[in-house]
Structure 1
Amino acid sequence: MGLFDFIFGTQKRLVEDYLKNGALILDVRTQREWDAGHIEDSIHIPLNELNEGVEEIKKLNKPVITCCASGVRSAKAAKFLNLNNIEAINGGGWVNLKKKL
């Protein structure tokens, strides 16, 4: 097993564990990006609106897997959610995340 297999295999198992625990998928891309395609049953809150939506996410009382186009914005979103006492991980780019589902 190579380093990349180890890293990405671990990420896949983490996503699977979160999903087993009822995690929701939060897409933080722009409306235009969301409209072009997204993961079915995911929630859409653009990163620049996440501050206003954090209480709504807390009320759902579920772990969160964030996603965006490449993983940069979703990493920021996961960190923000963690700082607000919401269990969250970065799922990376939505297309790759969809393949893991």
Structure 2
Amino acid sequence: MKKLVWLIATVLILAACGSTDKAFETVNLEDIEALQKEGALVMDVREVDEYNEGHISSAINIPLSQLQNGARTGLEKDQKYVVVCRSGSRSQTASEILHEEGYDVTNVSEGMSTWQGPVE
């Protein structure tokens, strides 16, 4: 009986450790341009007024508040997205939501408050 309990416990532990669910990557601001060159789209999850004050060139705007309410218009699961916000908090939440739904996302640890590149 002890051997059976030990075997079951071992199988459960190995199954948990062997999970193939890959978490999304988190990068720094300076990695954005390289990811764009590789075909990734920048998704700015700040609110519309924040986005309109200045955003990374070619970034799309889908505010976190809209993502939380189910907005996915125009998003494609085979497209890679680099998710950015003002400070890194909202992009983390947005990345978690989208990753859970099967989108290919990379979170940016910092945000537009420290972005030194050009803005539109």
> Shared topology, TM-score over 0.5?
yes
Please, what is the CA RMSD of the aligned residues? 2.6
User: What stretches of structure 2 of length at least 5 have no aligned partner?
Assistant: 1-26
Q: Tell me how far 1:44 sits from its aligned partner.
A: 0.3
User: What stretches of structure 1 of length at least 5 have no aligned partner?
Assistant: 1-9
- Which structure's CA Rg is the greater one? 2
Going from structure 1 to structure 2, the CA distance change for 1:98 and 1:22 (only over 3 Å counts) comes to farther
TM-score by length of 1: 0.71
Q: 1:58 aligns with which of 73, 76, 85?
A: 76
Q: 2:106 aligns with which of 74, 89, 92?
A: 89
Q: Where does structure 1 differ by over 2 angstroms across 4 or more consecutive aligned residues?
A: 10-21, 51-56, 94-99
Q: Aligned residue for 2:62? A: 45
Whichever residue aligns with residue 111 of structure 2, its letter is G
Q: Tell me how far 1:14 sits from its aligned partner.
A: 5.6
Q: Tell me how far 1:94 sits from its aligned partner.
A: 2.5
Q: Tell me how far 1:15 sits from its aligned partner.
A: 4.1
Q: Distance in 2 between matches of 1:12 and 1:30?
A: 19
Whether contact under 8 Å (1:28, 1:44) holds in the other structure is yes
Identify the range of structure 1 (27-36 vs 90-99) with the bigger mean alpha-carbon deviation.
Answer: 90-99
Question: What per-residue deviation string (whole Å, max 9, x for no partner) do you get for residues 23-78 of structure 1?
Answer: 1000000111111111111000110111433252126x310100110000001111
Whichever residue aligns with residue 18 of structure 1, its letter is L
Whether contact under 8 Å (1:67, 1:97) holds in the other structure is no
TM-score by length of 2: 0.61
* Secondary structure of 2:76's aligned partner: helix
Going from structure 1 to structure 2, the CA distance change for 1:30 and 1:19 (only over 3 Å counts) comes to same
Q: Distance in 1 between matches of 2:71 and 2:90?
A: 16
Whether contact under 8 Å (1:27, 1:94) holds in the other structure is no
Q: Distance in 2 between matches of 1:15 and 1:46?
A: 19
Aligned length: 90
